[in-house]
A = this chain, B = another copy of it.
Amino acid sequence: MSTTNKPTAKQVAHAAEVSLSAVSRAFSPNAPIHPEKRKRILAAAEAIGYISPARRTAEVIAEGTITLVAGDLLNPFYPTVLDLLARRLQESGRQLVVYALPANSDVDAATDQILASRPSAVIVTSAQLTSKMARACRQHQIKVVLLNRVQRDIRINAVACDNYQGGRDVGRLLLERGHRKIGFIGGVANTSTHAERARGFREVLAEAGVSTHAQSLGDFEYPGGYVAGQTLLSMKDPPSAIFCCNDIMALALIDVARERGVRVPEDLAVVGFDDIPMASWNAYRLTTVRQPVELMVQEALGLIDDTNIKPTDDGITRMLTGSLVLRNSV
């Protein structure tokens, strides 16, 4: 038989063994219907591939929506991304929905909320996205792009600065300037930004027969960097140069140094990563690795807009090179 016509509500009704009315109600947000029943109907509809006309237009309207899942909006690097992203999307008539994930929030709950709004794509800058989220998005035909994150265990699209290379560049710079007692202030251990930057940095040092003189974790934020800086600078034999895994922590370190009368760069060389606006401020003049934010945003949108890439495809990773910005902290 197979009169392969579009699926209708009647078919769903039959499949779910309910009345036609019930099917219609299942798709109306405020209609009186038992939640269980609605769930059953929605499941049946999904199986058959039925979408109510109302839902269909709603989806077309929501088509231009891209959701950004951001972890740490207080790190000035992310507002830069956010600002750029919002502008680019507006130019193409789309809009940006922002989810600020609190530090130790329930990611799964957020996942449901995010999916409920049916964005056409999700951009994730937050570290704590579970593979559940990735799977759920795939199922719902929603593209996911990680921005400034790479995750090896999940096959997912990602755009990031080449953190490994950046780490190498910093290491090389410090070696060239003659430093041998070199310290490192890391971010959060299980993030790709931390791991890759640390790896590149350590490898270059190792190649020159130098090992990290001292290190500490600073969780990517000012207070953490401040504490880590205090730890390293109170050592009996403190490092003469410190690479901080991001700019905010580098600024905190400079503040610690300032407080202790340690001169930067004479007594201590400091290098950061990101090139946030404050890095160029006079109080700091921080040498750092600039992330090509504009390009990164562009690439991320490119991955989303490329119709050859399907949400269910294996992930593509676009690696962009950062550039060392020499200022006065080295």
Q: Which of the residues B30, B58, B277 comes within 8 Å of A54, measured between beta carbons?
A: B58
Q: Is residue A100 within 8 Å, beta carbon to beta carbon, of the partner chain?
A: yes
**Structural contact, A100 and B90, CB atoms closer than 8 A:** yes
Q: Which of the residues B61, B79, B282 comes within 8 Å of A74, measured between beta carbons?
A: B79
Nearest B-chain residue to A221, judged by Cβ: B277
Nearest B-chain residue to A100, judged by Cβ: B86
Nearest B-chain residue to A83, judged by Cβ: B73
Q: Is residue A60 within 8 Å, beta carbon to beta carbon, of the partner chain?
A: yes
Q: Which of the residues B56, B79, B282 comes within 8 Å of A73, measured between beta carbons?
A: B79
Nearest B-chain residue to A96, judged by Cβ: B98
Given contacts A74-B83, A79-B74, A113-B95, contact A57 B60 (CB under 8 A): no
Query: In the complex, A255→B60 CA distance in Å?
Result: 50
Q: Is residue A235 within 8 Å, beta carbon to beta carbon, of the partner chain?
A: no
Produce 1/0 per residue, A39-77, CB < 8 A to B: 000000000000001111110111001000000011010
Q: Is residue A131 within 8 Å, beta carbon to beta carbon, of the partner chain?
A: no
Q: Is residue A1 within 8 Å, beta carbon to beta carbon, of the partner chain?
A: no
Count of A interface residues, CB-CB < 8 Å? 51
**Structural contact, A99 and B95, CB atoms closer than 8 A:** yes
- Measured CB to CB, the closest approach of chain B to A28, in angstroms, equals 6
Produce 1/0 per residue, A83-124, CB < 8 A to B: 100110010010111111010000000100100010000000
Produce 1/0 per residue, A246-278, CB < 8 A to B: 000001101110110000000000000000011
Q: Which of the residues B28, B99, B226, B282 comes within 8 Å of A259, measured between beta carbons?
A: B282
**Structural contact, A113 and B90, CB atoms closer than 8 A:** yes
**Structural contact, A281 and B222, CB atoms closer than 8 A:** yes
Q: Is residue A29 within 8 Å, beta carbon to beta carbon, of the partner chain?
A: yes
**Structural contact, B99 and A86, CB atoms closer than 8 A:** yes
